Amino acid sequence: MRLSVVSLVTLLVIVAAPIHRVAAQAPPPAAPAATRGARAEQHPRIRRAIRELQAAKVELQKAPHDFGGHRADALQAVDRAIEQLRIALQYDKK
């Protein structure tokens, strides 16, 4: 069972990697005049990972099959990953 959770997380990373490469190649958008003096967002990749994991969770929940019996474990792993990333961001604020 632990192997399936690791496999799911690995799959999520593999799926998200091409998205990251495309985003990394694109030039950053110009900041609006009102926010140019504002501090840059902290840890945008971690925040993007949280959004991607949330989207993956929705996709898992809406899927018409249970991924060979691994859907419940995958959902738990996604929830734990999101929780850990949020905790990590909280520690950065201290």
Model pLDDT, residue 93: 75
- Residues 47 and 22: beta-carbon distance below 8 Å: no
- Distance separating alpha carbons of residues 32 and 34, to the nearest angstrom: 5
> Residue for token digits 């690995």?
10
Task: Select the more confidently predicted residue: 22 or 8.
Answer: 8
pLDDT band at 92 (very low <50, low <70, confident <90, very high): confident
- Residues 86 and 50: beta-carbon distance below 8 Å: yes
Report the Cα–Cα distance between both ends of the chain, in Å, rounded: 36
Domain boundaries, the chain: 2-26+42-92
Residue 17, pLDDT above cutoff 90: no
What is the reported pTM? Answer: 0.58
Over residues 20-54, the pLDDT tens digits come to 554 556 555 655 554 554 566 789 999 999 999 99
